[in-house]
Amino acid sequence: MSEPKQRFLVLHDYGMGGLWWWIHARSARRIVETFAEVEVVEDPEIVARFADDSLTEVDIDAADMPPGLDGLRQQRDAQRSRPGFGALAGREVVFLRRPWEEADDTEPTVYFEEIGPDGRRLRQVEVYRDGTAIKTGPDDWPLNPPIDLHDPELAPWEIGPDDFEQVWRRARSES
């Protein structure tokens, strides 16, 4: 017999705001495997704050999803068959070296990131064209939305912890 469905508070945090839903599913894991760029919020204070709110309630197995959530399901469906899907999910720490394609002379060209199990950055180094490397942490960021660790586009950017630490040691603090 399968587990009964439970009610989970789910957030799509897009940096400057977020979309919230109550999703009925058998597990939090099933939710993040079904919808891209979402997190299941488990903090009891936040859950209590939304308990009486009139958020849209959705069954994970429903054919139709509300606006916003429908696109996140389609995005995840498209990702699922690609190499690297979910390769970084479920880890305690992930290290990435991500190039910044739109960089100009004032923006970093590469980001080295240490990512926690919830997809949020723990530490980061920005490397500029001239070789300058600036290290920052959570206290330096006004926003820290989670990175979707199921996203197959992230897998090729994975590096080892020693590679990250080497860049971190040579970087200077922002201030």
pLDDT digit string, tens, across residues 116-165 = 999 999 999 999 888 899 999 999 998 898 999 999 999 999 999 999 99
**Domain boundaries defined on the chain:** 6-80, 94-173
Place of tokens 């300058």: 132
Decide if pLDDT at 105 tops 70.
Answer: no
Please, which pLDDT band fits residue 66 given cuts at 50, 70 and 90?
A: very high
Q: How far apart are CA 1 and CA 126, in angstroms?
A: 50
Reported pTM: 0.87
Instruction: Report which of residues 59 and 3 the model is more confident about.
Output: 59
Closest CA to 136 of 145, 126, 128: 126
How many CA atoms lie within 13 Å of 159's alpha carbon, on the beta-carbon side? Answer: 17
Give the tens place of pLDDT for each residue, 21-51: 999 999 999 999 999 999 999 999 999 999 8
